[in-house]
Amino acid sequence: MTAALPAPLGDELLDHPDADPAVVRESLHHIARANWWFGGWWAVRRGLRTLLAGSPRTTLTVLDIGCGSADLLCRAVRWANRRGIRLVPLGLERHRAAAALAQRAAVPTLLAAAPDLPFRDRSVDLVIASQLLHHFAPETIVAICRAADRLARRGVLVADLRRSPVAAAGFRVGSRLLGFDPVTRADGLTSVRRGFTEAELSDLIRRAGARARVVRSPGFRLVATWTTGAA
């Protein structure tokens, strides 16, 4: 069994690659719903809009590190298609159950763990890391951002949680109203506590050697984007 990487605060189901697959599948179902209701998709959409601004009608490859059930990738593909841009999605997951769900959604998905990404330099156009970084200690976050910058020909999009007691209270109420399972409810609160301030996220990306634009997005989200040296 692969040991979970250390995280700065608390413990979540998805920190453990050997977690019960049935519980992982149930949690990912609710996480996909949370991405719609609590701002996860809207944060990714904002980042894509920034990275693709002025882009001609074209075809681009996009890698989602920690893609879960690939709900965000599927939404991104449909969103870009309506704008004349064809996104070719690729997922990466360390959970076999999650990778299987992504494959079922027609997203080719590799089984691997960040920051050790099995790709050549500049092998994809865009790299996304959504709600991923808060699971890791600062040194690993820096390594993930450095690896994403190395892989992307065009740009990198990081979307994560903005730490706030108001966000925690809102998720506590909303997750119960939406009928989330107890594990996802507990993990969601842990995720909020693990979130970032704008300055913290900017500093971590800067330590990776990149200069990102970090903005707030609805749902107590932060969106960081930057273009790479090949862009």
**Amino acid 108: pLDDT:** 97
Which residues 6+ apart lie within 8 Å of 150 measured at CB? 121, 122
Domains detected in the chain: 25-227 (3.40.50.150)
Q: What is the mean pLDDT of the chain?
A: 93
- Arithmetic mean of pLDDT, 133-161: 97
Residue 160 DSSP SS3: strand
**Amino acid 98: pLDDT:** 97
**Amino acid 130: pLDDT:** 97
Q: What percent of the chain has pLDDT over 70?
A: 95
230 pLDDT tier (thresholds 50, 70, 90):
low
Which residues 6+ apart lie within 8 Å of 12 measured at CB? 135, 187, 190, 191
Per-residue pLDDT tens for 21-36?
999 999 999 999 999 9
